[in-house]
Structure 1
Amino acid sequence: MILFWNKLIGDKAKFTIEARIFHSVCLLVLIALVVNVPYNYLMGTRNLAIVMLGIVLGVVAIYYSSRIKLLYNASVIAFQIYNNLLLIAIYYYNSGIHGPCYGMYIVSFFIGVIIVPKKQYWLWLPLNVLTIFGLLYYEATHPGWIINSYPNPSARFFDYGFTYIFIAGTIMLVAAYIREALHQEHTQVQEKAQTLEETNRTKDKLLSVLAHDLKEPLASIQGFLELLASYKLEESERIDIERQLLSRTKDTSYLLSNVLAWTKGQMAAVEVKLSSLHLQKTLSNTLKLVKGIAEEKHLEFEYHLSDRICIVGDKDLMQLIIRNLVTNAIKFTYSGGKIVVNTEIKENKCLIMVTDTGSGIPVSKQSSIFSLAARSTFGTQKEKGAGLGLVLCKEFTELQGGQIGFISKENIGSTFYVSMPLCQNFVAAQLEDRVEC
C-alpha cells in the first residue's frame, strides 16, 4: 500500500518534497470529493454535489499536469484558483457559518504556506484570509443569504466528523512528510560532515608525508651528493656512500609510489580490472625484485608459489599489495632473519602469506595497523616510511573482493595474509592436471 501511494505522489529523486506534498493533497481532496458527492446528493444538497463533481474533474487535471507533465508551478496556481472556488461553494451550499468550512480554510492556509512558492505568498495567503472574512461579514450583514442545509442534527454531526477526519488526516500527512524530510536532511548533513572530516584527515596525512617523510630522504640524498662533489674520498668511502645513496633513492622512490597510489585511491580514481590471474606468473617478477632488497640487508628470502593456482584479481594491485607486504617485512626484520612467502588453498580461497622473523607488532598498535591512525616507525636499520603501505594493502585488497589480516607476536615475528577468491575453473583445471587462466 505504501509503495503504491509513493508511486502515486512521485519518486523522491524526481520530485521535491513540496511537489510530493502537493500530489498528496490533490489525492486527498479527490478522495474527499468522491466520498462527498454521493453523500451530499443523498443528503439533499444536490447543488453542492454537482459543484463538487465538476471540481473533481478539475483536480484530476491539475494532478495530471503536475505528476505526469511535470508542470508543478502552473498546477499550483490552478489548484489555488480551484481551491478558493471550492471553498466558496462549500461555504455557500454547506450552511455557511453553521457548517465546518472555516476549518477547511485553516487547513487550506496551512497547505498554501507549504506548496505555494514564496514569491507568490503575497497573493494567495492574503486572499485566503480576505475570502473567509468577506464571506463571514457578508453573511452577517445579509441574514437569510445562506440557508441551513442540514435536514437534521445527525447530518450536521456526520458532516463535522468527516471534515475533522479530513483536516486531521491532511495535517498529519503533511507533518509526517516534513518530519521525514528534516530527518533525511539531518542524516545527509551528518554524512557530509563525516566525509569532510575524513577528507581533512586525508589532507593532513598527505601534507605530513610531503612535508616530512619525503623531505627527509631527499635532504639525505642531497647531502650525499654534496659530499661526493666537495671532497676527494677514498674508494671504499665512495663505494659506501654510493651504496647508501642508492638505498635512500630506492626508499624514496618506493615511498613516492605509495603516496601516489594512495592519493589516487583517495580521489576514487583507482580502476579495478578483475580477471583470472596465474598467481606464479603475476607475482614472480615482483618477488625477484624484493628478494634483491632482502639480500642487501642480509636476509634469507624464500617464496613458494604453486604454478597451478589461479585467482580472481587485478594484476597491478596484487603486485603492489605483495610488494608492500614483503617490503614491510624486510623493514622490520633484523639482518640474518628470514622471510617466507607461500600459499595455501582454504575454502575456495587462496591465502598468500608473508611470514617474517622480525620485531613483530606491539599489541597496543595492532588494532590500528591498517589505518592512518598508525604512526610510521623506523625499521631495524632506521628505514623510514610514511605509514601508508599497509593502508594501501587493505584498501586495494578489499577493492578486489579479498580480505587481509595478520598474526603477530612481539620480538618473534609476523605473518600477513591476503585471501583472494580462486578462479571458477581452478578445480576443473586441477582435476584435468592443467591450469587455465
Structure 2
Amino acid sequence: MSQRVKQFLNFLIGDPQLFTLENRIFNAICAISLFIIAINVPYNYITGLTVTSLIFAFLVVAFSFIYFLSRYRKKVDISIVIAVIVINAMFGINYFYSGGIQGASLLSFTLSFFLAMLISPPKQYYWWLALNLLTVLGLIAWEYYHPASVEAVYKTRRDIFADMTPTYIINVAVIFIGTVYLKNAYNNEKKRGEEKTRSLEMMNTEKSKLFSLISHDLRNPLAAIQSYLQLMREIELDPENKTQIETELLYVVNSTQEMLYNILVWSKTQMDGLNVNLIPVDVASAIHPILKINKMAVSKKKIALDTNIDASIKVMADINMLQLIVRNLLGNAAKFTPSGGTIFIKTSRSGDKCLIEVKDSGVGIDLARQADIFSLKVRSTFGTDNEKGIGLGLFLCKEYTTAQQGTIWFENNLEGGSSFYLELPLAN
C-alpha cells in the first residue's frame, strides 16, 4: 500500500494509533454507506422512486452527522445506536413506497443487519436481531393484511429488474468489502498482538535471566565485605595491612554500589519508562566528576588514565544519562584493562556532533560477544582482576544513547584493547 493511500485511509477512518479497531471499522462503514446512499438518491429519482429518493437524501444528512460524531468526536457507541435505529426507521418507511415485499427493501434490511452486526459490540447483538426481525416481520404482516397500504411502483417487469439487480450487486459488494476489511483488520490486530506477546516473552526471559544473575553476582562482593570485616575484627592488623584491606574494602563497596545503581536505574526505567530531559550540557563539567570517582579503580590496578577533554563543547543531552553512560564505559575499560595498562578518554567535534571516545589497552571484545554486546543477551564476564558485573551497563548505555538521539558503537584496536564511541548532537 502506497504512503498516499495509507494517509488517505488514516484521514478517512482514523489513525490506528489514535482510534480503536471498532471505531475505525465503523468509520469505514459510515464512509462506504454515505457513498452508496448518495448514489441511490439520483438513481431512485431517475427510476421513478421519488419518495425513496427523498428518504435516501435524508439518510445522507443523517449519516454525515453520524460519521462526524464517530470520526471527529470519537463517540462511536452512541453513533452505532443512532445509525441502526435511523436506518431501520427509514427503510421501514421506504418499504411502503418501494414495492413492499416485491421490491428491494428486504435486501436492504438484510444488508443493514449485516452491517449492524459487524460494527456493534457483542452486548448489542440480540437487541439488533430483535429490532430487525420485529421490523421486517411486522412490515410483511402489515402488507399481508393491508395490501393497499403498499404503493405499486413497478409498472413493468423492467422496472423490477432495474431496481432489484443494482440493489443486489451493491449488497454483495458491501458484504464483500466489509468482510475483507474486517478480516484484514482482525489479522493485523492478531499480528500486532502476537508481536507484543513475543516481545513480552522475550522481556520476561531477559528479566528472569537478569535477576538470576543479580542474585548470584551480588553474593561475591557481599561475601568479600563480610570476610574483610570478620578478618579485621578477629585479627589485630598492623597499620600497613589495615590500610590495604580498607582500600580493598572500599573498592569492593564502590564496585557493588555501581552495580546496584545500574540495577536501580534499569528497574526505574522498566516501571516508569524513559523520561528524557534534553538541555545544553557542558561535556567537561559532566565528565570530570566521573573521572574523579573512577580514579580509585584505575589507581588500584595501576592503570594510567589520560584525558583530552575539550572544555568548549556543549551537547544536547540529559546530564544524568550522559554521566551514567560515561561512568559505565570507564568502568568497563578499567575492568578489562590489566595492571600497567592505559585508558584514554577524549572529546572532540565531528561536524554537528560531539564525539566522546573511551579507549583502553585491555583484552578487547571477543568476536562471539560482539553482536550482543549492547543487549541483555550478553553474559557477564570477569575482569582482569576478577571483577564481576551483571552485563547491564552497556545495555543501559545503548538505551540512554538512543533516547538522547545519539549513537554508540565500538571497535577493537589493532594494538589491543577496544574503543567505545559515543556521539551526541551539539547544542546550538
TM-score bucket of the superposed structures, by smaller chain: 0.7 to 0.9
Alignment of 1:403-418 (within 5 A): 403-408=407-412, 412-418=416-422
- C-alpha displacement at 1:359, in angstroms? 1.1
Mapped contact 1:360–1:411 kept (Cα < 8 A): no
Helix, strand or coil: the match of 1:382? coil
Alignment of 1:7-26 (within 5 A): 18=22, 21=25
Helix, strand or coil: the match of 1:267? helix
Partners in 1 of 2:303 and 2:268 — Cα distance?
A: 33
| Structure 1 residue 366 corresponds to structure 2 residue 370 | yes
Q: What whole-Å deviation, never above 9, does each CA across 1:248-307 have from its counterpart, x for those lacking one?
A: 222212222222223233334554333333333332332233234212211222112233
Mapped contact 1:43–1:151 kept (Cα < 8 A): no
Query: Which range moved further: 371-380 or 54-63?
Result: 54-63
Alignment of 1:111-190 (within 5 A): 111-116=115-120, 118-133=122-137, 136=140, 149-190=153-194
**Which of 308, 324, 329 lines up with 1:320 in the alignment?**
324
Which residue does 1:263 correspond to in 2?
Answer: 267
Mapped contact 1:369–1:390 kept (Cα < 8 A): yes
Partners in 2 of 1:29 and 1:13 — Cα distance?
A: 24
Mapped contact 1:359–1:411 kept (Cα < 8 A): no
Alignment of 1:24-423 (within 5 A): 32-49=36-53, 76-77=80-81, 79-116=83-120, 118-133=122-137, 136=140, 149-268=153-272, 270-408=274-412, 412-423=416-427
Partners in 2 of 1:275 and 1:388 — Cα distance?
A: 26
Helix, strand or coil: the match of 1:93? coil
The verdict on how the C-alpha distance between 1:36 and 1:354 changes in structure 2, with shifts beyond 3 A counting, is closer
Partners in 1 of 2:427 and 2:73 — Cα distance?
A: 51
Partners in 1 of 2:14 and 2:343 — Cα distance?
A: 62
Partners in 2 of 1:74 and 1:281 — Cα distance?
A: 59
- C-alpha displacement at 1:329, in angstroms? 1.3
Where in structure 1 are there 5+ consecutive unaligned residues? 425-437
Q: What whole-Å deviation, never above 9, does each CA across 1:105-130 have from its counterpart, x for those lacking one?
A: 32122123234554454444144335
Mapped contact 1:362–1:410 kept (Cα < 8 A): no
Mapped contact 1:324–1:390 kept (Cα < 8 A): yes
Q: What whole-Å deviation, never above 9, does each CA across 1:205-240 have from its counterpart, x for those lacking one?
A: 442243122222111111211122123345554344
- C-alpha displacement at 1:187, in angstroms? 3.9
The verdict on how the C-alpha distance between 1:231 and 1:343 changes in structure 2, with shifts beyond 3 A counting, is same
Mapped contact 2:206–2:377 kept (Cα < 8 A): no
Paired residue type of 2:204: N
Helix, strand or coil: the match of 2:96? helix
Partners in 2 of 1:195 and 1:6 — Cα distance?
A: 26
Mapped contact 2:51–2:94 kept (Cα < 8 A): no
Partners in 1 of 2:103 and 2:141 — Cα distance?
A: 15
Which residue does 1:435 correspond to in 2?
Answer: none
- Rg comparison, structure with higher value: 1
RMSD between superposed Cα atoms in Å: 3.6
State the TM-score, normalizing by the size of structure 2. Answer: 0.82
The verdict on how the C-alpha distance between 1:409 and 1:280 changes in structure 2, with shifts beyond 3 A counting, is closer
Partners in 2 of 1:362 and 1:68 — Cα distance?
A: 56
Mapped contact 2:80–2:119 kept (Cα < 8 A): yes
The verdict on how the C-alpha distance between 1:127 and 1:294 changes in structure 2, with shifts beyond 3 A counting, is closer
Partners in 2 of 1:406 and 1:67 — Cα distance?
A: 49
Q: What whole-Å deviation, never above 9, does each CA across 1:135-167 have from its counterpart, x for those lacking one?
A: 556666788875753233433332123212331
Query: Which range moved further: 251-260 or 174-183?
Result: 174-183
Query: Which range moved further: 392-401 or 238-247?
Result: 238-247
The verdict on how the C-alpha distance between 1:105 and 1:372 changes in structure 2, with shifts beyond 3 A counting, is same
State the TM-score, normalizing by the size of structure 1. Answer: 0.81
Partners in 2 of 1:280 and 1:406 — Cα distance?
A: 22
Helix, strand or coil: the match of 2:347? strand
Q: What is the percentage of aligned positions where both structures have the same residue? A: 38
Mapped contact 1:358–1:411 kept (Cα < 8 A): no
Paired residue type of 2:379: R
- Count residues with an aligned counterpart: 424
Helix, strand or coil: the match of 1:335? coil
- C-alpha displacement at 1:99, in angstroms? 2.6
Helix, strand or coil: the match of 1:373? coil
The verdict on how the C-alpha distance between 1:143 and 1:386 changes in structure 2, with shifts beyond 3 A counting, is closer
Q: What whole-Å deviation, never above 9, does each CA across 1:21-73 have from its counterpart, x for those lacking one?
A: 55655565555555445544444444555555666666667667766777765
Mapped contact 1:98–1:148 kept (Cα < 8 A): no
Where in structure 2 are there 5+ consecutive unaligned residues? none
Mapped contact 2:310–2:348 kept (Cα < 8 A): no
Partners in 2 of 1:56 and 1:403 — Cα distance?
A: 54
Partners in 2 of 1:168 and 1:185 — Cα distance?
A: 25
